[in-house]
Amino acid sequence: MKTISLIIPTYNEEESLHILYEELCGLTQSLPHYSWEILFVNDGSNDKSASIIDTFVEQDNRVAVVELSRNFGKEAAMLAGFDYVQGDCAIVLDADLQHPISVIPQMIEYWEEGYDDVYVRRRSRGDSTPLRRMLSRCYYSLLQHASNIDVLPDVGDFRLLDRKCIDSLKLLREQCRYTKGMYAWIGFRKKEIVCDLHERIAGKSKWGLGQLLNLAIEGVTSFSVTPLRISSILGFIISLIAFIYMIIVLTKTLIWGDPVAGYPSLMCIILFLGGIQLLSLGIIGEYLGRIFNETKNRPTYIAREYKKRKENQGHSDN
């Protein structure tokens, strides 16, 4: 009997966990010819999420939990899930029920047909503003042109991964993680499912504008050196223009005696060049910061505890 694992990164989701567990139990009952593992990764929650998950572990031997020592972020929590999961395939889904569980049987069907990575593309998303959707499209367009991998737009972490994919992702231990890019980088046979995502049933999104911007920067800098090349090309072009302009000014001054442009034009040039220099230094600093983090060789996460009920104690199929 094949084992299907569910990886659920969790951070302060106490209001949705009971509903999620009930729906997952219904899913497992509808597919009894598979063995199931439900792995929660508690990413340092400071509400009642930990105690609720412990209740699931005590009453159901299919449920396990990895308790991280603090909040490391979703990217690190997913890596912890890949490290601890034991199934023949794993499905990554959020704890807030935005990912429709009704799609999972179709994902499993495609997996049985031989696909290694079955991902879900968003047709629409109820809680997204027009501005956020526009920025998302612009970002993915930029990332597609800047990197040499096919990072799919409107595709998140809701996907089924074969054991081959999981083992490959476990090998990628970098600190600055952009898992959406890693899915594309490892390759394997992929299959798309298009569906609508749900709105959160409770609570608020943990992904604010700052977190999304940071993730976007991680995506570009993790899979492309294009910003550094743009900085170099821009520096060369500006230097060439400055040299040509210098020749023109010297020629006009020496031959025709025209006075050199005064304070306003001088200040504009200085401020423009200063801005370009600071921008270039900032881009270099982003890459240097990532090199610094990688050279420290710290673990991506620290697991405080792994809990799972022994199988001979039985389980409940509530």
Confidence at residue 39, expressed as pLDDT on a 0 to 100 scale? 92
Rounded to two decimals, what is the model's pTM? 0.70
Q: How many helices (H) and strands (E) does the chain have?
A: 10, 8
Q: Edge-to-edge strand order for the sheet containing 35-42?
A: 190-197, 117-125, 155-162, 89-92, 3-10, 35-42, 63-68, 303-308
Listed in sequence order, the DSSP H helices in the chain are 17-30, 49-59, 74-84, 104-112, 130-146, 163-170, 179-186, 209-223, 226-251, 263-295
CA distance 13 to 99: 14
d(CA 41, CA 81): 6
- Specify the DSSP element, H or E, that contains 183: helix 179-186
Whether 178 and 222 have beta carbons less than 8 Å apart is answered as yes
pLDDT of res. 209:
55
Write down the pLDDT at residue 6: 92
- Please report the pLDDT score of residue 202 as a whole number: 57
Helix (H, G, I), strand (E, B) or coil at 8: strand
User: Distance between the two ends of the chain, CA-based, in angstroms?
Assistant: 22
Q: How far, in Å, CA of 311 to CA of 290, rounded?
A: 43
Q: What is the pLDDT of residue 55?
A: 87
pLDDT < 50 regions, the chain? 207, 314-318
How many other C-beta atoms are found inside a 10 Å radius of the C-beta of residue 247? 10
Place of tokens 């792994």: 306
Task: Enter the tokens of residue 105.
Answer: 């049987």
Burial of 226 (0-12, 13-18, 19+ CB in 10 A): middle
CA pair distance 159, 91, nearest whole angstrom: 6
Amino acid sitting at position 281? L
Cα–Cα distance for residue pair 206/311, rounded to 1 Å: 35
**Closest C-alpha to 235, from 247, 227, 245:** 227
| Residue 181 in tokens | 């890019």
The residue to which tokens 């890949």 are assigned: 82
d(CA 46, CA 26): 28
Any idea what the Cα angle at residue 168 is, between residues 219 and 184, rounded to 5°? 35
Q: What's the CA gap between 21 and 63, in Å, rounded?
A: 10
